[in-house]
Structure 1
Amino acid sequence: MAPTDPVHVLVVDDDRNVQRMLADALTRAGFRVTVERDGEAALAAFERQPFDVVLLDVLLPALNGYEVARRIKSTPRGEGTPVLMLSGIYKTKMHQAQAVERHGAAGFVEKPFKLNQLFGKLEGVLGERFPKPPPPPPSNGSPEPASEPLADPRARAEASLVEFTAAESTAAEPAADEAGIRAAPASAPAVDRGSFAARAFPELLADLHRRRSTGGLLLRRDKVKKIVFFRAGAPESVKSNRLSECLGRVMVRERMISEADCEESLKRMKTSGRQQGTVLIEMGCISPHNLRYALELQLRLKLLEVFGWTRGEFQFNPRAQPPSETVRLQMSTAGIVHEGIKRSYDTTRIKKALGEIAGKYVHPAEDPLFAAQDMSLGEEEAGLLALMDGSRTVRELRRRGPLSPLDTDRFLYALLCSQMVELRTERRTGPPPPRLQATVARAPGDRPWDEDEEVLELEDEVPGDDEGHLRERLLGALAAMRRMDYFELLGLRHDAPPDAVRSAAVELLREYRVDGPASSAEVETVVHQIAELVGKAHDTLVDPASRDRYRAELRVGGVKHEVGEAVGRMLEAESAFRRGEQLLAAGNVPGAHAAFSEAVRLQPDEGEFLALLGWTTHARAPSDAVAGREALTFLAEAVERSPTLDRAHLYKGHVHKALGQTGEAQGEYEKAVECNPGCTEALRELSILTWAARLAQPRPS
């Protein structure tokens, strides 16, 4: 490593929250970061390029961290590379000793950990190579550069789209279709307008979330323009006219690739027609998982930059529907608000935002839907939230809480924007409410392993099921809930106090992540119905008079809930879809096609059902061009409904390839990899197309 090169750290963890937290913190500290989610990808990355230090989680899918460490340390390059092991499960002295003695680890860090503890370990193994604090970033008011040499064609097209949409927004009837944005029904509510001088961005975001708004939020500050697209109150994607926010520049700035790598990838893009991320994968600069992480990071940074704006205008248009994107923001609205305030609010701004509140008491929100929002808090923030029970003033929390006064105010402002707490002049009376457990980004709890059990023989935990199984579980849960009375639903006795009702409702809403981004239209519908049912149960039981009326109705047997026609139809469609998958796996394509047709008839808006119907339409007659075009119609609708479903793009690519449309096939395979870095079939097809293109080139004489 040259003296001026940043320290390159490989982070290996399958938890996206941990990935994001570590990558953001390490990058801000001056490290260059590469992120991988499993052991095999980590070994491939280590073989591809050198790293100065490895942060390695023990519990990984397929190949556990101990084996990854052993293989790294057995190579000439890895022999001198320090490996720090991370774990929230294997943290006994025996496990730590094994990590060092058997597998060559330089140290062991227990989850959950504080960043200063991790940095202390890193400084210990890196010594003088530990990065010095980087210079402060340029202010948000800095002018946009006149040109951006690292901008790819997709970034330039995005900038043009934003400019066009901004110009059209001033017209009486915006030509949304020409801008590539689908129009909503004419009955949609009126457009909201305002300025950031009068309304702060975090408050605006939280308000759109509470209203469950769908549409496009146009933001302007001088020559900078952005559009944030919302679906049911959750920010989903961001478009920007700032070429400095293009993917290549973000990856260079975050030290994921060098500027030379970026320039070379742009040259290859022009000759191959590939997306920049795919080219960088082929060059060996990044892995598919790195690409996915970079695309998600790019979205977050585009949005978080706006929190620094103190002037400018906004305009919300409910007629601008979110476009189909392969990558969406994966943070809850409350989490984005919290992160943005932490990054951009200094003492002056936070004091102006909060005003004089030192003597007011901080009470938890009454509404369980607000209290259940996920902020993915650190341990200290979760501890501070637990102290906000109505018995302490803001002044006391600043003095005695686990955070500094500035960080306490930032956290409090984020909670107030999201309406997770409220300020009152009076102190809480009566017994304290049950402590609400905040969602904390941490590893699973300890398990009762035998002390003499061989670590490498322990079964790894594998991440959650796929989209279909998630949908099936949610539908089953909703059907079961509808058969319960409200006391059964919340798991309460008939004489449970109101605070217990609230606590049970919040816990149930958190379990089903009702404020998080939904992966498909049907999942969003089911989760929304669960939230409505839990909210109705809470409102009925928390009020004594309503509860008495409800108990009287229960005694005469009049309030049990049926599953309902809509839920019954969803369950029937899911059953037909599962039957189709089994038939397809058995090679019965006509039978599978019939089953998928039935699933689509019952639930025509579910993207995965449409994708499999399209694929079997083609598979029944793979050489029939008419069937191929019909299949593409179903697959295009599947992509429209579920743009993050890798199978829809993969099948669409296969059909385009069968029809001889290699350019379109290549684009769909690239989108499949963006959706799912583990889609090996799409990666294989891209490699085949690359070799075919090279063989087709004329050889020099």
Structure 2
Amino acid sequence: MAPKILIVEDFEKLREALKNFLAGRGYEVTLAPDGIEGLKAYAQTVFDLLILDLRLPRLNGIEVLKKVRQTHRGSKLPVIIISGAYKGEPYREQARKQLGVEHYLEKPFTYDALLKAVQASLKPAETAAAPREAPAAKPAAAPPLRGKLQAKPFDQVLVEVMKKQMSGFLSVARNGEKKTISFLAGAPRWLSLDQGEGNFGQYLLTQGKISLQEYQAYEARRKAAGGQDPTELFVKMGCLKFEEYHRQLRQWAEDELIGLFGWTEGEYGFQAQAAAAAGPAEINLPRVIHQGFRRHFSPARQGQLYQEVARRYLALAPGFYEHQMLLSLSQAEAVFLDAVDGTKTLLDLTPADPDDSEEVIKGLQTFLVLEMLRLSPEPVSEVPPAPFPIREAAAEAEAAAKAPAVAEEAEGFEDLAGDLSGALTEVVDNLKQAGPAAPVAELKPAAEAPVPAAAEPGASEADQQRRREDELLEFFEKIKDKNYYEIMGMTPQTFDFSRYKSRYFELSKKFSPDKFLMSSGDILAKSEEVLTRLATAFNTLSNVVSKEKYDELLPKKYPVLPGGKAQDKMQAEVAFQSGLAFLEMEDWDGAEKSLAEAAGLDPKNGDALAHLAFATFMKNRRSKTVQVKANELLTRALKLKPQCAAAYAYRGTLLIQEEKYALAEAELSKALRLNPRFRHALKEMKLIEEHKQKEKKGLLGRLRG
């Protein structure tokens, strides 16, 4: 029987990748996305191995492992910890001594390291049941990769080789030219020109790096070698230093690959080989793909891409962190990526300037191919964390340089622990029936953890943490009675969105909850509240409609921004007024979002629910499901406010859609009795009168006939 492995990891792509890898080697794998689900899975099945992330939603990995260790069968269960947040020997040592964990893998880790840890963790009999290599029977051969570029563009061929991690040689030919690219596990390692023009010597000659005499010597050596490219000759002749030689060689190979994106006809074929040879300079494939689309992505394909994804929401994906530093982004692309947050569609993010718009669409093709962005039919709230430290972009780095340096502090395990939810309590009770083992000692932060290089001279980690907490509490008190402009140090008269945005990102970074994981629960809660208020202020003033409504309300009802429930009430009113403005503009999507926010902040607002029902219905009036949802919202609105004219009017609209004109007229009449000047009800009544006149004419026609 194959060993059973439970993987508890919140990052979906990594979770699935680990499952596919281990399942392909004969193991039976179960997945859980958070600590609670992990404990539920553990309670239902006897596992041979637990692979556990530490930073998990709902219940962190330390608490999960403590509960597992308190059961009889879990006291000796092999565990492999995988973590990108807690790195270094002190953490590995604590995990080994206090939690009985022998294998501690720091992200990113290799498949080989994982497999060795799995095999070492399992008993010999279990390891034998799941051999390292695939079963002896050979899998069916993959279909050959060959065809014509007219049917499959070169970029699609290249991406297929990359994503399937193929090793071997890809040949592309047209009109007497032939280029061959060597691949190793999906990465291009070298390019050779078997036929046609354009060798490395010609490239250097056109770049002015070599003389004609030096080029002739190179050509003579190349012909004498039977066409084999003697590129190293330029180092031997003293034309290039060794480092410059490699840089120029890589640039030439990448430019040749980029040129293949423009081949619209020809043939391609891939010859598989277990380990294709590497060239003298590794190729930057993300750059090749990016520049290839930038130079050769046709207008027709641009239009097709835009039509397909214009109304989809864009969010960052794990590939963003893998590839962003390998690309030379234009300003339009950088601004575009900076604005991607999971809550905006491509339509929202597309620049107004036609040239910038074209750059963004070309760049988008790269971002999707490299899985830097993902598409969603609905807004996305979760953003994958960076798996490694990343230096800030130029603009943020400049802002950070002006601010006093704040050292990042090493995090310990003890503050990860949280209160157990009701769902966990039930699971833990079931686990305890198996009988507890010896209690596990508390895992303390490592005293020997190194102080980060950015720490202030002479300041201990505890001193730095206290200073951060003091700054947070001071800022928390400072913004209690501030309006959305004052929070960022501005007034309506001095408002500048560019500076506002920079200030928002600066403060969000400074007071991020990640900085206070070692602090008390009260401090952490204040950090989260500060971030919520910053985000609400930014979202309100970054939208033209909501900013206008906020400016209208601010001096009349709220000279300063109140705190607590009063603040929510004001924001609900801003959202409600914004929703009404969007309804006037027939922007159903904007109306639905604003009115949903208003209803969420003020659940007793019957008018907000009524208008939300209408916006929801108008977004997709042909859908029966949407009609049912809209009717439910109108019913709730009338329960909250029995004299709600909007609810009766919109009920009339839904009944007209169902061609129930008599019932619709009755509902619209109720609306007009409550508000005789309600324009929507007057408009719908006019439609009913027109319908009556048509019916009357039809009846007269039939009588006369």
TM bucket (normalised to shorter chain) is: 0.3 to 0.5
Greater gyration radius: 2
Higher relative contact order (CA 8 A, sep 6+): 1
Relative to the length of structure 2, the TM-score reads: 0.36
